[in-house]
Structures are given as structure tokens and as C-alpha cells.
A = this chain, B = another copy of it.
Amino acid sequence: MDPRTLETPRLLLDESRMLANVERMRAHLHGLGVPLRLHVKTAKCIDAARPAMARPEGPIAVSTLKEAEYFFDHGVTDILYAVGITPNKLDHVLDLRRRGVRLAVVLDSLDAARLVAEKARAAHDPVDVLVEIDCDGHRSGVKPEAPRLLDIGRHLHEHGATLRGVMTHAGASYDCRTTDAIRAMAEQERAAAVRAARRLRMIGLRCPVVSVGSTPTATFAAELTGVTEVRAGVFVFFDLVMAGLGVCRLDDIALSVVTSVIGHQPEKGWIIVDAGWMAMSRDRGTAGQAIDQGYGVVCDIAGRVIDDLTMVAANQEHGILARRRGSTRPLPDLPLGTLLRILPNHACATGAQFDRYHVLRDGKVADVWARFTGW
């Protein structure tokens, strides 16, 4: 099918770009001698995830138990649920484990360790647990030097759960200003996780897993001694935030929203399209970067960037395209019905607005892959 025949808006996935992104990360991590645990929160689709997975059974990381259910239904059994566990999800976790998922949970408090250990003992299931480490002050986790890290580890070990290891995520890498800063953040992430694991081992606990990751740090990590796995997900598609960080080029971005011109407001300097924030998402992740890309960078339907044209504002189903501030270029001639592609700020957020990918292969929409959202 010609992408020009799509009823807009639609989510387009450029398969060759995706496969190149996957191969680049694979080669990089292979060189560092560390396997990837693909984070599937970006793709939420078995067809898009599979090329990045070493084996059909995983490993993967998930951000929701719905992702765990879906990927288990598609044959994946090695799954890390990478969001702090909460009481109302434990029965669901135990049920997934009973059904054959090697599902590990994450926690960062003694309260949570008590809860998980109690449930594990009652269910006669030594639930696998990773302790979350705070490597950058960005979100959750235990500081690697915190006394409670050892209390948590000891409690899990002594009361019926399995301390599998530690995990951390350098979310602060998204705020780095240079690739050197990302490289330093990768080392900070590695060092925090390795240090935490060492402390647990020093008191006699096994701690086989040392899990780190974010797409920026995974991309720029120079060495990963002591790390046993890297988690990343956005690199499969990339997006404008990653391009702004220097993690990819605009031409690497595999995801775009196909949209149609529905109107012109020449006196305002605007072209109106039928992709608004419902299609692009409300993510404005480039707003704090050196180049603010608005709601997205505008390309022609072949995927070539149109210079100085971005989506500067968005209503629910209307996008407003305009020249960048300071641009001297006139508005391009894009008649009613012209099809365009918009590169998104954030692949996870834009992807989540759609229930399928239209897969571009050799210039044609060669496949439609279902994806899911929700909990």
C-alpha cells in the first residue's frame, strides 16, 4: 500500500531505520560484552520488539504488568517489572510466576521488602527481587551507600524472597547537555550499581544481577565492568529528544505521524494539519533543550525534513505548522490534502496514542503491527 493512501493521522514505522538502530546498539553492547534486556515500554508490540531481542524468551523489562501479560502470551518468559512494586499488584505477580514467567520485581524500601517477603513465604514462591539504586537523585531508589540497602537485602534473603541483584536507571541522562556529560553519567550509573552490589556481597549475600540502563547511557557507555545487563528501549525508534541529546541523528528516527494539510492561515503564518496533540501526544520534551522542536519536526511524505518547519502548537486534532522563530523562509506551498510526516519528541509518548504501526518497507506500507496501551 502506498503511504499516500492512508486515512490520516497514522503512525508510520520505518523498518530499515529501526533495524539499523537495533544493529548499532547490538554491536555496541556486544563490544562491551554485556547483554541487552530490551525495555518494551516503547514498542509495546512483539513484532517491533523481536528484532532487538537476543532470544524469543527474552530477557525484557516491562513498565506495566499488562506488558508482562502480553509478552508472556507471545512466548517471553524472562521479564523484569521495572517499576516499584505495590501491594495491589503482588497477587498478579505471583499469578504470572505460577503460569511460568520468570518475573522479577523491584523495590527500594524495607516496608516493600517485608511485604514481598511475607507474600513470597505465604505463596511458597521465592519471588525474585532487584533492589532499586538511586544513582543520580532523579527518581526512586536507595543510595548505594545507604545503610538500608543492606537491611533490605538481608530481609529479603532471610524471609522467603530471592535477592537477585540491583538495578538502576540514570534518568538524569535525559538532562545532559553534552555527549561527554552522558558518558560521565553512564560511568556514574555503572559505578553506583556495582558499588551497591559489592556492599550486598560483602555481607555474604548473593547478588548475581547488576542491571543498568537508559538509551543515552547505553549508547555512550565506554565500559561496563561489573554490569550484567543493560536496559534500554527508546533506541529502537529514537525521537527528537534523543536527537537533541546527540544520541541519534534526525535521519535515524524510525517513527513518524502521517498527517494531511487541512487548512491555511497565511496571515498568521500557519498551515493546519489533522494531527494534533492526540496524535503527537502532549510531550514537549525538547522544550528544555537547545533547540525546541515544538510538537515535532515536519518532513515530506518521503521522510525528508522540511527546513525550519515545526508543529508550533497543537489542539486535540489540529496541529499548527509554522516556520521557526527567526526563519526568513516563506511558508512552503503545501496545498490542501498534502501528506506530511511529523517526527515526534518522544517515541514512548507518541506511540502510546496509536493502536498500530503502519510499517514502511521499500517505500510501501508492507505490514500493520498491532500495539497496545493501558494497564
A contact residues vs B (CB 8 Å cutoff): 5-10, 41, 63-65, 83-89, 92, 107-109, 111-112, 115, 134, 137, 139-140, 171, 260-265, 268, 272, 274, 277-279, 281-284, 315-318, 320, 335-337, 339, 348-349, 352-355, 373-375
Across the interface, do B140 and A272 meet the contact criterion of CB distance under 8 Å?
yes
Interface pair A84/B272, CB less than 8 Å apart? yes
Q: Is the CB of B8 within 8 A of A88?
A: yes
Kindly report which residue of chain B lies nearest to residue A348, judged by CB atoms.
Answer: B316
Q: Is the CB of A111 within 8 A of B336?
A: yes
Give A42's nearest chain B residue, CB to CB.
B316
Number of identical protomers = 2
CA distance A65 to B353 in the complex (A): 16
Please give, as numbers and ranges, the residues of chain B lying within 8 Å of A140 by CB-CB distance. Answer: 262-263, 265, 272, 318
A260 touches B7 (CB 8 A): no
A337 touches B88 (CB 8 A): yes
Contact present for B337 and A354 (CB under 8 Å): no
Residues of B within 8 A of A375 (CB): 7-10, 279, 354
Shortest A131–chain B CB gap in Å is 12
A sample of 14 more A-B contacts (CB under 8 A), given A84-B263, A84-B318, A279-B375, is: A7-B89, A7-B92, A83-B317, A83-B318, A84-B262, A84-B274, A109-B263, A112-B262, A112-B263, A281-B281, A316-B348, A353-B373, A353-B374, A373-B373
On whether A263 and B87 interact (CB within 8 A), knowing A282-B282, A353-B373, A354-B374, the answer reads: no
Most-contacted residue by chain B among A89, A107, A171, A315 (CB, 10 A): A315
A284–B277 CA distance with the chains assembled, in angstroms: 12
| With A86-B260, A111-B335, A260-B87 as contacts: A139 and B315 at CB distance below 8 Å | yes
